[in-house]
Amino acid sequence: MRTIIQIGTVSMMVTLGLLGCQTSPKHTNWPASVPGFGDGFPNHGDACRRVGESAATLNYLDDSASLVGCLSADDAAKLGGKVLATIDGVTLVSVPNIAVVPGDGDGQGDAKVAGTQYHATAQIRCSGYQGAPAGMCAAGVVRGTETGTYIDVTLPNGRQRTIFFNGDGSFLTFSTAEADGTAAMTIGSRREGDTTIATLGSERYDIPDVFVKGD
């Protein structure tokens, strides 16, 4: 199983690596007053971006949510969060760290977050990628595939790390490739309460059960 996953994801990881080195044309007119980072939210290449701290955004930051900026009000509305303000042409949206959609404990089935392939998006604890300190990474989950569930984690430089889970919600493996050196890294996991701690070499990702399983 793991060998098949590794072979099947080599081309995907190489493609993501190439994309991570580019800046989307959608973000070329981004104002300096609203410090956007990453190349798309919630997915790589999307028009919106996560927003960091500046004099203009300080009062809108919230530990329980991601501050996201969009150059279009229509794109902002698709995120499903709370629109806060518009600064220098960027509409700021507060997106809860776990975006609740039908299927996340409401008994209505597993729907998708508007405008994405994901059944839910969240901010998860992450650390260790290229020596990065502990922080939060944007993540999206796809549930109910033939092999179980997978989670795409957006890394600090905009690239992605994909983590696979079995149908019962237990950890399976990471996507890896020889091209980027991840195939040689040690893969592991352990449980801490209702959270899976998945590790790839020195990298660590804390993934709550509710994010993996939904309903």
DSSP letters spanning 73-134: HHHHHHT-SEEEEEETTEEEEEEESB---TTSSSSS-----TTSS-SEEEEEEEE-GGGPPS
Q: Of the ranges 51-65, 107-121, 134-148, which is most confident?
A: 134-148
Segment 30-55 shows an average pLDDT of 83
Predicted structure pTM score: 0.53
Segment 174-197 shows an average pLDDT of 94
Q: CA quadruple 207, 208, 209, 215: dihedral positive or negative?
A: negative
Residue 184 has pLDDT above 50, yes or no: yes
- Tell me the domain boundaries of the chain: 31-96, 99-213
**Mean pLDDT lowest for which of 1-15, 36-50, 144-158, 169-183?**
1-15
Residue 39 has pLDDT above 80, yes or no: no
Nearest to 164 by CA among 146, 191, 186: 146
Q: What is the pLDDT of residue 97?
A: 64
